Structure 1
């Protein structure tokens, strides 16, 4: 297994950020790395979904764990293995949330993933964090 994680701090509350981050059908409206996505049920462990990242093939994923307003994990199949993602959210003061995104690559594909995709994913995670912040702030402002 190979793993890496990125951390960021954004403006907002965990409630606002959670509402946006778990609204799978709308990921492509704010996340610059997603073209399309859907969730085939409630946002709970065991629910499956589908995502089409920009520049990568589309595929199914399964939510594997949910701790409301704290963390969630998902996994997707990759050749000869699986990709596991965990996202954590922590309110650090009245107006800021710490985000941690961990990516694990299981199976023989891990060294190739590290060589080809890790650098780009690490570079792009702050863009996704910033987009999540904008969307959470915009939705809250619209709904007061």
Structure 2
């Protein structure tokens, strides 16, 4: 298994940051990485969707876990394996929230993620976290 990700402390309150981070269909409106994201039902465990980031192939995913105002997880099939993405957050003092994303790649595409997609995504996460902070402040 190959694991990568990043975290950042941003300004905001957990309820608002959570609301932004669970509104996946609006990701393309504020996240510079997102080209498309849709859900085939309400946000919750078992709901499937489709996501595509700029410059990467898109694909289906299923929400596999939700702990309100703490973490939600999505799993995507990969040839011979899977990609699991955890979106986490926790209060980090007055008006601050620590947000993080962790990616877990299982299967034969692990080396491709280690050499190409992982570093690319890791570099882009700073922009995602900054955009999340801006969108939460806007709401």
TM-score normalised by structure 1 residue count: 0.93
* Secondary structure in 1 matching 2:51: strand
User: Which whole-Å deviations, capped at 9, do the CAs of 1:96-120 have from their partners, x for residues lacking one?
Assistant: 0001211000001101210111111
Q: What are the within-5 Å matches in structure 2 for residues 41-60 of structure 1?
A: 41-60=41-60
SS at match of 2:124: helix
Give the aligned CA root-mean-square deviation in angstroms. Answer: 0.9
Counterparts in 2 of 1:108-127, with a 5 A limit?
108-127=108-127
Matches within 5 A, 1:57-72: 57-72=57-72
Instruction: Please report how far the alpha carbon of residue 5 of structure 1 lies from its aligned counterpart in structure 2 after TM superposition.
Output: 2.4
How much does 1:57 deviate?
A: 1.7
Alignment match, 2:28: 28
How many angstroms does 1:48 deviate by?
0.4
Q: Indicate the SS of the match to 1:18.
A: helix
- Once the two structures are superposed, the pairs formed by residues 8-23 of structure 1 within 5 Å of their partners are 8-23=8-23
**Runs of 4 or more consecutive aligned structure 1 residues displaced over 3 Å after TM superposition:** none
Shift of 1:62: 0.3
Count of residue pairs brought into register by the alignment: 139
The gaps in structure 1 that reach 5 residues or longer are: 140-144
Name the counterpart of 1:74: 74
Give the Cα separation in 2 of the matches to 1:39 and 1:98: 26
Structure 2: runs of 5+ lacking an equivalent: none
2: CA distance between counterparts of 1:79 and 1:61?
14
C-alpha separation in 1, matches of 2:86 and 2:107? 18
In structure 2, distance between residues paired with 1:66 and 1:19: 13
